[in-house]
Structure 1
Amino acid sequence: MRRADRLFQIVQYLRGGRLVRAAQLAEWLEVSERTIYRDIADLQSTGVPIDGAAGVGYIMRDGFDLPPLMFTHDEIVALVAGARMIRAWGGAAMARAAEEALVKIEIVLPDAERARAHQVEVHAIAPEMTPEVRSLIDALERSVQTRTRLALSYLDAEARASERTVRPLGLWFWGKVWTLVAWCELRADFRMFRLDRIETMRDCGDSFRHEPGKTLADFYRTMERRPKRET
C-alpha cells in the first residue's frame, strides 16, 4: 500500500469520534506500530485534528473532512474499467451516465491520478449492442425500479412462443447475454428471461408490491438450492 493511501485509511478509521489504538491500526493496515506513530505525527503536523498518545489511543475531532474523490490506483482502474464496460454493454441511459461519470471523475482528480486514469488499458467492445437492445435494457431497468408489471411475448430455447405476465425483479449480465429475473405469474414461480428472446414487451399499467416468497431475496435463496433455470 502506498503511504498516501495508508494515511487516508488512518483518517477513515479515526472518523466517528471513537478511540482507536495504534496496535489496532497497525493490524488493519499490516504495518508496525512504529509506522503508525510516525504516520499520525505527520498527519497532526499537517493540521489533521487527531488527539491522543502512544499507549492510550487516538481520536479525531469532529468537523474534519478530506477532499472528495481521493482514489487509490486500484480504485481508479476499477472505476474506469467498470464505466467503459457499462458504456459498451449497458442500456442507452446507462452508457450516457457512464460517459458523464468518467468526465466528472477526470475533472476532479489531481493531475497524477488523471494521468493514471488515461493509462488504464481495459476496454470493452460490443458491436451486437444495437439501439433496440439498449432501449430494452433501459425500459426493463425502469420497470424494476418502479415495480411495474410487464406483459412479455417470449421465445424459449426451442423457439416456442408464450405470453407471460411478470413482476420484474432485477437484471443479470452474463457477459454478452442479459437476463431479466422475474416472478412469472403464468408459472407461479421465478424465471429468468433472456433479453434476446423477448419478442415484444408492454407495460401492464399497474405496479406490484413485494410479497413474501416473491422477492429478489427469495429468488437468491432458491438459487442456492437448485440449478439455474431458464424459461
Structure 2
Amino acid sequence: MNKTDRMLAIVVELQRKGVLRAEDLAARFETSVRTIYRDMQALSEAGVPVAGAPGTGYSLMEGYFLPPVSFTVEEAAALLIGADFVEFRFDAEYGARARSAREKIEAILPESVRDETVRVRSATRLLNEGTAGMYGREKAVLDRLRRAILEKRRVRFRYAKKIPGEDGTRLSERTADPYGLVFAGGTWSLVAFCGLRQDIRHFRLSRMSELAVLEETFEFLPGFRLADHRPADDRNVQVLALVSSDIADRVGEENNYYLESLEPREDGAWLATFRVRRIEELLQWALGWGAGVRILEPESLRTRIREEIGKMLERY
C-alpha cells in the first residue's frame, strides 16, 4: 500500500472507530509507529482535522466526514448486504475486497443511519451451514478462473457429466478459453469456448476438477460480449406431472430449473409443467418425491421410473 492510499485508509479507519492509537494503526497497516506519526503530520498539513492526545490516541474532529456521500438507510443496507453476499459466494480475494468496502461504507455513514442499518441487516442472514466444504472448493476454482479470464489464459480441466443411456457419470478432459463467469440458480458456471466441441459451452464449477491454468493465451471470438450472451435453449421435451396438494408448496419453493408452471386443479392436486433436454434430468426429482408426484407424460419417463423402482425393489 502506497502512502496516499494508506493516509486515506487511516482517515476511513478513524471515522469508523473513533479513537485509535498510533500502535493500533501501525499494526492495522503493517508499518512502523514512526511512519504513522509522519502520516498524521501530513494529514494535518493537508487540512484534515486530526486531533492527538497523549495516552489516548488520534481522532477526527466531530462532524468531519470523508467522502461527502449520503446514503439512505435502505441504500446503505443494500450495499452492505451486497458486500456480505460477495464475501459469502466469491473467492477469497474478492471476499477481502468486500470486507474492505463494507468498512469504508460503514465509516462514512452518520451514526443514526449506521445504527438503523445495523438493525436492518440483522434481519437478513446468509447461511452456509452444511455446505462450507463445497463452497470452499468452488471458491478456489472461481479464484483461478477469474484470474485466467483477466489474463486471457487457456485452461484445462476434467468435467463430470451424466451421459444419456449410460449408468453413472462420465469424466472428460476439456481445454477451453474462459470468457466469463455466470451466477444463476444458486450455482456458478464458466462460459468458455470449448476446444473439444469447437463452440461456446457452459461448465458448472461444481463439476470441474483438476483445473490447470495454461501458459497459452487466447483471443475472444469476434463480437462476443458476455453481457449479450444467451445460451441456446434446447429444452425441447415437455413433462407433465401431477403434484399432491400436501407438497405443492415445497415443489414450488425449490425453484427447479426445469419447472415452467405449477397450477392448481379443481380436484385439489397441482399440475406441474417442465421442459427438459432429456427425461433423465427429472428422473431423480420424480423419485425423490415418492407417491406425492405422478408423471403424466411422456410415457418414456413413466417407463424409466418403473424400471428404476424395479431395481430398488431388488436391492431391498
SS at match of 2:88: helix
2:152 pairs, out of 135, 147, 154, with 147
Q: Which residue of 2 aligns with 1:126?
A: 128
Q: Counterpart in 1 of 2:109? A: 109
Q: Distance in 1 between matches of 2:108 and 2:182?
A: 32
Q: Matches of 1:227 and 1:98 in 2, distance apart? A: 37
2:12 is matched with none
Q: Which amino acid aligns with 2:105?
A: I
Cα distance, 1:106 vs structure 2: 0.6
Report SS of the residue matched to 1:192: strand
1:17-65 deviation digits (Å, cap 9, x = unpaired): xxxxxxxxxxxxxxxxxxxxxxxxxxxxxxxxxxxxxxxxxxxxxxxxx
| Structure 1 portions without partners, runs of 5+ | 1-65
Alignment map for 1:1-231 (pairs within 5 Å): 67-119=67-119, 120=121, 121-127=123-129, 128-130=131-133, 131-158=136-163, 159-212=169-222, 214-216=224-226, 220=229, 222-223=230-231, 226-227=233-234
Q: Note the C-alpha offset of 1:211.
A: 2.5
Change (3 A) 1:186 1:71: same
Count of aligned residue pairs for this structure pair: 161
2-structure distance, mates of 1:217, 1:107: 33
What whole-Å deviation, never above 9, does each CA across 1:105-163 have from its counterpart, x for those lacking one?
11111112211321222221123243332221111111122111101111113421111
State the alpha-carbon separation in 2 of the partners of residues 196 and 136 from structure 1.
9
**Corresponding residue SS for 2:77:** helix
- Pair 1:178–1:217, CA change in 2 (3 A): closer
Larger RCO of the pair (alpha carbons < 8 Å, separation 6+): 1
**Structure 2: runs of 5+ lacking an equivalent:** 1-65, 164-168, 236-276, 278-316
Distance in 2 (CA, whole Å) between partners of 1:227 and 1:162 is 22
CA radius of gyration, larger in: 2
C-alpha deviation, 1:214, in angstroms: 5.0
Distance 1:105 1:176 in 2: 27
Q: 1:129 to 1:140 in 2, by over 3 A?
A: farther
Task: Output the CA distance in 2 between the equivalents of 1:148 and 1:186.
Answer: 17
1:177 maps to a residue whose letter is T
The TM-score, its normalising length taken from structure 1, stands at 0.62
Tell me how large the CA RMSD over aligned residues is.
2.3
% identical aligned pairs: 34
Counterpart of 2:75, as a letter, is E
Q: 1:216 offset after TM fit, Å?
A: 2.6
Q: Against the structure 1 CA distance between its residues 199 and 71, is the aligned structure 2 distance closer, same or farther, given a 3 Å change threshold?
A: same
**Residues 91 and 100 of structure 1: CA distance in aligned 2, closer, same or farther (over 3 Å):** same
Q: Contact (CA 8 Å) 1:86, 1:94: kept in 2 or not?
A: yes
In 2, distance between residues paired with 1:140 and 1:171? 8
The CA distance in 1 between the partners of 2:68 and 2:92, in whole Å, is 28
1:175, distance to aligned residue in structure 2 (A): 4.5
Do 2:179 and 2:220's aligned partners in 1 also have CA atoms closer than 8 Å?
Answer: no
How many angstroms apart in 1 are the aligned matches of 2:105 and 2:223? 40
Specify the code of the residue in structure 2 equivalent to 1:81: I
TM-score when normalising by structure 2: 0.47
Deviations 1:151-199 (A, max 9, x none): 1111113421111111111111224321111111111111111111102
